[in-house]
Amino acid sequence: MIPGSNAALTAENPGLRKVLVAFGWTITQSLGPQAELVPMAIMCGQDGLALSDDHLVFFNQLATPEGSMEFVGADDQEQIDVDLAAVPEDVRKIAFVVYVDPDLRGPGNFGAVKNAYVRLADETHRELLRFDIPSGNQMQVKAMLFGELYRHSGGWKFRAIGQGYQNGLAGVAADYKLAL
């Protein structure tokens, strides 16, 4: 996939119920601050804002209240499982963000991050799509919206994005109205 492209997940995969959203990357080692990356998924309503602070998952909040989304270990760096059939009806999209943890190892950024990707697979781990984040100068980027799952015509699609945030997690929180 390329930035801005869309894939019709459920239309192209009839009967698809669960999606494994996996993230991966390599980090160039240095003697300075190291980036500690954290994936997060945010359930959003019609207005594009988070339904609540409880409707997101990351390492410190492993599941949504209704259990339709769960942060789990993976073969990739990190994985978030989504039960599409159990996602509440008022959720219009799920945003997948990766941010540099500001509390670990100093003020890191995406400058040392290489080969970052997000890939979606079914329950049997069959890859449905993959989006490789374009490389470039990302020394100012402290969080990135990798992509989003969204409802469309009774099904689900995925949009590849790759949008960086210079203001990190604070910028993500402001855009989605989260109290992080």
In tens, the pLDDT along 81-118 reads 999 999 999 999 999 999 988 765 566 788 888 899 99
Give the tens place of pLDDT for each residue, 22-35: 999 988 877 666 67
Residue 133 has pLDDT above 90, yes or no: yes
Please name the residue that has the structure tokens 């210079």: 166
Distance CA 143, CA 140 (A): 9
CA angle 15, 17, 23 (to 5 degrees): 125
Q: Supply the CATH classification number for the domain 6-176.
A: 2.60.60.30
Residue pair 152/94 in contact by the 8 Å Cβ criterion = no
Query: pLDDT value at position 78?
Result: 87
User: Which residues does 74 contact at the CB level (< 8 Å), separation at least 6?
Assistant: 20, 22
Domain boundaries, given as residue ranges, for the chain: 6-176
